[in-house]
Structure 1
Amino acid sequence: MHSGLLSIRARLDRAGILLSALCALHCLASIVVVSAIGIGGQWLFSPDIHRYGLVIALLIAAVAIGWGALRHRRMAPFVVAMMGLTFMGGALAVPHGVQEAVLTIIGVSLVTLGHILNLRHTHGTLSGRA
């Protein structure tokens, strides 16, 4: 049962990494598509997409990274991911465009790093535990 719970948490970390990558791709693609073609801005830049994405990121990070921190007692993944979520939240406060994309990409990069550190600490590659 213990390995089943670890498997769920590891899957959540991997889902967080995937969603962070998709978020960064969305930011870059939105700027390129809207700038180059001039279409899609009404839904690619929709604030709702960003709000829902932040809520999903918060939920996955809270469960996966919080759970991992309780298990391996390392705070680095938690602190790095929370800094990333802060940048993502800050991106909601600036106008749509390059500033928002830069803040979001910094944020998702930090959240991804938090998930990667969490996976490594939990599986003993950095913590020295098996």
Structure 2
Amino acid sequence: MTQSPVPAANQTSLRPSLRRRLDHLGIGLAGLCALHCMATLLVVSALGVGGHFLLEENIHRIGLALALVVAAAAIGWGLVRHRRAFPFAVAMAGLGFMFWALIVPHGTNEFVLTLLGVTLVSAAHYLNLRALR
């Protein structure tokens, strides 16, 4: 009779650990996005430099794509496990604001929509973590 290399109890504990890491990654990405927005505002406004890099559309598209993937994995997984729709709804609202920020011209509206979006997505990851405790 052969034993599996990882006991059954440890196999199930791997899933929450990965999901928890994804939620932490989502919170971290939201923080980096907020930092990027503030750095862009400060650097471009105060110094008049960096606009070609910091205002690059692909940075925003890639950021939204990463947020979508991480939120789908972590919050979707959480929804299946804890059956609480509120973190999912908050994440969808946040991702919606982030998408909206992509279609408005650069400026105050984009800044506010993006910060609102990443704040909501980060809060959704936090709520997801709390729901599974």
TM > 0.5 between the two?
yes
Please list the CA deviations of residues 99-128 of structure 1 after superposition, one character each: whole Å capped at 9, or x if unmatched.
Answer: 1110000000000010000000011xxxxx
Tell me if structure 2 keeps the 8 A contact 1:31–1:98: no
Partner of 2:34: 24
Partner of 1:55: 65
Gaps of 5+ in 2: 1-10
Identify the match of residue 55 of structure 2 among 30, 39, 45.
45
Gaps of 5+ in 1: 124-130
| Structure 1 stretches of 4+ moved >4 Å | none
> What TM-score does the superposition give when structure 2 sets the normalisation length?
0.91
Query: Is the radius of gyration larger for structure 1 or structure 2?
Result: 2
Identify the match of residue 45 of structure 2 among 35, 39, 50.
35
Identify the match of residue 107 of structure 1 among 101, 117, 131.
117
Identity of aligned residues (%): 57
In structure 1, the residue corresponding to 2:103 is in which secondary structure?
coil
Identify the match of residue 101 of structure 2 among 91, 108, 121.
91
- Paired with 1:102 and 1:76, the residues of 2 have a C-alpha distance of 23
Equivalenced residues, count: 123
In structure 1, the residue corresponding to 2:104 is in which secondary structure?
coil
Q: CA deviation at 1:2?
A: 1.2
- Structural RMSD (CA): 0.5
